[in-house]
Amino acid sequence: MSSDSIFVPNRLPVLPLPYPLILHPSLLLSIPLSYAHSLSLLKAALQVSQPNSSQSNGGNGRRDQIDAHKPIIVACVPTLRPDLSNATSQAPPANAIKIDDDVEELGTGSKEEADLRVKINDLYDWGCAARLIRLTRHPASQTCTLVVTGIARVRVDRWLSVRAPLTSTTLDSARNLTVPDVPVPLASMTTFPETPFPGRNPSTQDQEAVKKLRIAATELIEALMNDPTSRRLDAADPRATALSLPLLPNALLKRLMSFVREARDSQSGLLADVLVGTLGGACAWNDRVGVLGEYDPRERVARTITLLGEGVYRVRTARELIAALGAPLSSGSKESLAKNQLEGLLAQLAALNPNISARISTGNTTFSIGSVKKGSEDDGKVGGIIAIRGNNNTKNDDASQSAVIRPVNAPLKPFRANPFGSSRGMGGGGAGGAEGANEEDEDEVAELTRKLDEAKLTPEARKVCDRELKRLGRIPAQSVERGVVITYLETMAELPWDKTSTDMDTKAITTGEVDEGIVSRARRILDEDHYGLDKIKRRLVEYLAVLELKTEQAKERMSQEERDSRETAKAGGRKGDAGNGAPESQSKEVVPWVPGLGEDGPGIDRLDEQAEDEAERKRQRDEQVRRRKNAFVADKGPILLLVGPPGTGKTSIAKSLAAALKRPFTRLSLGGVRDESEIRGHRRTYVGAMPGNIASSLRKVGVSDPVILLDEIDKLSSGNGLHGDPMAAMLEVLDPEQNNQFSDHYINCPMDLSRVLFIATANTLETISPPLLDRTEVIQVSGYTHDEKVAIAKQYLLPKQAKAQGLSFGKDLIVGDDVLLKIAMSYTREAGVRSLEREIGAVARAKAVQFAEDRKGTLKDSKGNKCAYDPKVRVEDLLDILGIESYEPEVADIQSRSGVSTGLAYQGSGSGGILHIETLMLPPGTGNMKLTGKLGDVIQESANLAFSWVKAHAFQLGIVPNRESEFPKNDVHLHMPSGAIPKDGPSAGVAMVCALVSLWTDTVIPKELAMTGEITLRGLVTPVGGIKEKCLGAHRAGIKRLILPMRNRKDVESDLPQNVRSDLDIQYVRTIWQAIDIAFGNALYENALMRNGSLEGIDEGRRLMTSEFESSRL
């Protein structure tokens, strides 16, 4: 029920608030009362709010029904203390009609009534209508704590009586005790509900007032907060005390700061009440009383602004006074200061509750504060002792001195630091009498226990931690083993056993747009952060789509189960009513009971326990729902292995995936790791043992489902037998069927890694063991094309380097696409863009030098003349900035000649190009072939294979006139240029065949034609790798036509950009004869006819060209 919907009667019982308590609307307040006063107030409030329900029914002890849903309202009015001149002189005068002689005759004439009449005349005529929230009884001290919440400010128009009706006596029938009566005033009130300020059309002055209110509140809250940025000071330095003095809890101040920022402008009046009521301790009491009497929100806001400004001055002055002490306090000064502070605290405690008695004992002095008289009936029942130990050599340090505060005659109970008992007094060589250290140890163990309870441990981990906690209680404080156990327990408490990324604050992680799905957000982030890499993006989006689908299905399933449970509960309720045969009206009967009276009802002293039980049950239900939802969404994520050259974005794309999933990201560098303990951790038997990198990463990110990048997994050492095999240790980590029970040697209990999304990177697959490779999904990351490099440089690298060098991109630095392409082709040769970024940085630095000289007027050209700064970089400027070109790419020949063909080569690092194959016929000799050009074994075998195939089909190719003719005895020399570069691989087989046929038949191959493919003795052309890089290199070299193996067609259609495919005429072949037909056409046979004059071999060769060979699995 909201405060706006609560009806406030015009006659209310009054609860005088002891000085300096003040209640403002919309705030909570705890008020200490005696048991008798609380009962009298409760009955008076029930009489006013429910006049037909609270009267006694004769003397039979029967109580009528009370509507438990109707709120109980009282008026909380602050007390004006006449002995405090500040408060009475500056507080607004009380204008309510005082109690006259007729009203005073209503009293009994007792001393208590006379005292109350004096207090009524000292009550302020403004207060706050409050609703009773909770009444907690303390049987040992016969006191109660009343919790109320402010509803609206009220004005006291007339005091009606000092004693409300039906409060003459109160009888506790259960204990057969007579509770002394306490008078309760009754007054006529006028309620002032809260009005919005400013209104719908606020003036400029109102808006400025709201702004000033927020600024003043922010300054005061910041002044009250701790200063975390202050430098460390010695503990004895008084400035350290001033800087760390928390006048209010930081958690409360942070919540209050959030409310100041988020409150609407129309809630300025409410904000003023909240600020004055919460931060009132930093302001003068009379000013706070004055704000309570301001019913006009405009005046209230203006007064609050002034009050908060004074509060800032008071707080800063108090801290400066403490910090101004020039030297550390001496031991005597410290004791005197602490004793004076405790005296003041206890005096305030005694003023709030007269039933409290306290005694302070130091090393050589003892003094008491309190109002309990000896010989009274309450003597020995209520009171308290606060003991302060003196020096360590005093003998009075028994168990009675260890309690911080306790009732006088109550039995002592040991401090329960953990569920397994305290370590105090345990054997094991600990120094006796070191109770200060024991208390610190108990605090540390209690803190560990609390952290472990909040860690949501698995049953196995809970069992291990319980055993270690018991063991910790038996270890002396001076033992080294104690530190080892505490470190282990802290590690266990910080591991995210069942905490997922959905439990974290979403503001800590990069978020997308509102109502944006996982797939849409992933596509947006991946496209913003990376150019190209379509294959990886497609695979990641597939995984995210499955995850989003499972999440939606889990939500629908949970909603359906909730609906089913509600229907089942309703059906069970109807069935129970029908079985009892009672009408519905009887089933809703309200149990008649008055809070705090007897044991017939639940009793007000059990409300706290019931509320705590209900909160615990709600927490357990929420936890069960969360775990079931995680179980529904649980998916064994793919373990991706990104293989490709350096600098192609493998690591950065993992970060983008983590941002799209809203999960934390962490990276493990596995390069050079050669110890198994780096993965599995060290056993606790060793000194300095610690968990492995996997467990440490989970501890660092704080969730059990992060994105973990296993970088450079191909450089993970296989071990030397002494320190284990880390490559084998990764088998369990990367196995989706086993990693839900991953065992770290240090943790020594199973950990669930199935929710972790692992992404591994490698430059090659050759060094990765086959079992480990089998557990991953390999995605090849090819290098960027030159067009992609230009696009990446324009979008990312140029703006980044311009900003790094102090230039404005597009204004102080202009680089065209032709310049970027020149840098990428002539000054770098890599698959990624790291070298490209370095070269662009060199260009930007050169322009930065010119720009700096131009600003000083000292810029000169190459001839020494002054010139203006030109922000544009041209291709001809690169020679002066970057020097001579580092690489000269191969280009197509200007003219064609026989014996020369153009092949395609993969040049490593994700780049490709063309490769000329040159052949030369030598004078007659042995008929052998000579190979040069630093060729590897495989490419030499391809050359021999091509030579043998040409010899075998010399008649069909028109090299010899008839079948019985002997092949010419001329030696052949085959050479591949760029002899310093090693060359190997089988993909040049087709090009070698065409080069030899061109040489022997004196037929020219077109210069714009290039080819690649492996050959077999049967004349088949089989697929090769690196098709994308080879085609891009041919396109840059000016090649117009390509011959590729038929089985590489899928690679072209999936990897090659569309603009490159449209510029190239790509023809696919299955046999060598088809490649020869495309390369030579009719020119081959025309030359053979002119040379041999016979058509027999030529006709047979034509039939072989046009016939289709049966496709082979090779």
Q: Say how far apart CA 73 and CA 938 lie, in whole Å.
A: 97
**Confidence at residue 396, expressed as pLDDT on a 0 to 100 scale:** 40
342-348 average pLDDT score: 61
Q: Which long-range contacts (CB under 8 A, 24 or more apart) does 190-194 make?
A: 190/10, 190/154, 190/155, 190/157, 191/8, 191/10, 191/129, 191/152, 191/153, 191/154, 192/152, 192/153, 192/154, 192/155, 192/295, 193/4, 193/152, 194/25, 194/152, 194/269, 194/270, 194/297
**Residue 549 phi, psi dihedral angles, 5° rounding:** -65, -45
Q: Please tell me which of 55-59, 397-401, 601-605, 820-824 the model is most confident about, judged by mean pLDDT.
A: 820-824
Each residue's pLDDT tens digit, 862-906: 788 888 888 899 999 899 899 988 877 666 666 678 899 999 998
CB 186 within 8 A of CB 164: yes
Each residue's pLDDT tens digit, 691-706: 989 999 999 988 888 8
Inter-axis angle of helices 268-278 and 297-323, nearest 10: 30
3-state class of 448 per DSSP?
helix
Helices in 6-110 by DSSP H: which ranges? 35-49, 85-90, 101-104
49-68 average pLDDT score: 52
Angle at 1092 between CA 1089 and CA 1095, to 5 degrees: 50
Its sign, for the CA torsion 988, 994, 1000, 1003, is: negative
- The pLDDT-based confidence of 740 (bands split at 50, 70, 90) is confident
**Residue 1058 phi, psi dihedral angles, 5° rounding:** -65, -35
Q: Say how far apart CA 826 and CA 888 lie, in whole Å.
A: 6
* Mean of per-residue pLDDT scores for the chain: 76
Each residue's pLDDT tens digit, 843-855: 999 999 999 988 8
**Confidence at residue 997, expressed as pLDDT on a 0 to 100 scale:** 93
Each residue's pLDDT tens digit, 268-319: 999 999 998 888 767 778 888 889 999 899 999 999 999 888 888 888 877 7
In CATH, what is the architecture of 501-564+636-781?
Answer: 3-Layer(aba) Sandwich (3.40)
470-474 average pLDDT score: 87
Q: Say how far apart CA 242 and CA 233 lie, in whole Å.
A: 11
Its sign, for the CA torsion 841, 847, 849, 851, is: negative
pLDDT at residue 75 is higher than 90? yes
- Mean pLDDT is lowest, of 401-415, 510-524, 605-619, 889-903, for 401-415
**Confidence at residue 359, expressed as pLDDT on a 0 to 100 scale:** 56
Each residue's pLDDT tens digit, 177-186: 556 677 888 9
Which one is predicted more confidently, 1066 or 325?
Answer: 1066
As given in the structure block, the two tokens for residue 975 are 């050479």
pLDDT at residue 414 is higher than 50? no
Angle at 1101 between CA 1099 and CA 1102, to 5 degrees: 65
**Confidence at residue 355, expressed as pLDDT on a 0 to 100 scale:** 52
The structure's pTM equals: 0.54
**Confidence at residue 129, expressed as pLDDT on a 0 to 100 scale:** 95
- Mean pLDDT is lowest, of 890-894, 911-915, 1000-1004, for 890-894
Q: Which fold has domain 900-1106?
A: Ribosomal Protein S5; domain 2 (3.30.230)
Each residue's pLDDT tens digit, 372-392: 444 444 444 333 434 333 444
CB atoms inside a 10 Å sphere around CB 109 = 8
Among residues of the chain, what percentage have pLDDT more than 90? Answer: 22
Each residue's pLDDT tens digit, 28-42: 999 998 888 888 888
784-791 average pLDDT score: 83
**Confidence at residue 733, expressed as pLDDT on a 0 to 100 scale:** 86
Instruction: Please classify residue 1102 by burial: count the beta carbons closer than 10 Å to its beta carbon, then call 0-12 exposed, 13-18 middle and 19+ buried.
Output: middle
**Confidence at residue 249, expressed as pLDDT on a 0 to 100 scale:** 78
324-349 average pLDDT score: 57
**Confidence at residue 353, expressed as pLDDT on a 0 to 100 scale:** 55
Angle at 40 between CA 35 and CA 41, to 5 degrees: 100
pLDDT at residue 57 is higher than 80? no
Class of domain 786-882: mainly alpha
Among residues of the chain, what percentage have pLDDT more than 70? Answer: 69
CB atoms inside a 10 Å sphere around CB 685 = 7
Q: Say how far apart CA 669 and CA 761 lie, in whole Å.
A: 10
pLDDT at residue 975 is higher than 90? yes
Which residue out of 1030, 1062, 1111, 1112 is catalytically annotated?
1030
**Confidence at residue 709, expressed as pLDDT on a 0 to 100 scale:** 92
Q: Is 381 one of the annotated active-site residues of the chain?
A: no
Each residue's pLDDT tens digit, 1051-1098: 999 888 888 889 899 999 999 999 998 999 888 878 777 776 666 666
- Mean pLDDT is lowest, of 243-257, 619-633, 936-950, for 619-633
Each residue's pLDDT tens digit, 536-549: 888 888 888 887 78
**Confidence at residue 500, expressed as pLDDT on a 0 to 100 scale:** 81
Q: Is 333 one of the annotated active-site residues of the chain?
A: no
Each residue's pLDDT tens digit, 647-694: 888 888 888 888 888 889 999 988 888 788 888 888 888 888 889 899
51-63 average pLDDT score: 47
Spatial CA neighbour of 967 closest among 909, 1029, 910, 925: 925
pLDDT at residue 111 is higher than 60? no
Which residue out of 987, 1040, 1050, 1111 is catalytically annotated?
987
The domain locations on the chain are: 3-56+66-192, 204-323, 332-371+379-412, 414-426+437-494, 501-564+636-781, 601-627, 786-882, 900-1106
Spatial CA neighbour of 995 closest among 913, 921, 932: 921
Q: Which CATH number fits domain 3-56+66-192: 2.30.130.40, 1.20.120.1200, 3.40.50.2300, 3.40.50.300?
A: 2.30.130.40
Angle at 664 between CA 663 and CA 670, to 5 degrees: 125
**Confidence at residue 929, expressed as pLDDT on a 0 to 100 scale:** 92
Amino acid at 1099: D
**Confidence at residue 921, expressed as pLDDT on a 0 to 100 scale:** 92
Which one is predicted more confidently, 843 or 533?
Answer: 843
**Confidence at residue 1075, expressed as pLDDT on a 0 to 100 scale:** 94
Asked if domains 3-56+66-192 and 900-1106 share a fold, the reply is: no
Q: Say how far apart CA 167 and CA 44 lie, in whole Å.
A: 7
CB atoms inside a 10 Å sphere around CB 765 = 14
- The pLDDT-based confidence of 601 (bands split at 50, 70, 90) is very low
CB 894 within 8 A of CB 916: no
**Confidence at residue 574, expressed as pLDDT on a 0 to 100 scale:** 56
Each residue's pLDDT tens digit, 154-171: 999 998 887 655 554 545
**Confidence at residue 1024, expressed as pLDDT on a 0 to 100 scale:** 93
**Confidence at residue 1016, expressed as pLDDT on a 0 to 100 scale:** 94
pLDDT at residue 589 is higher than 50? no
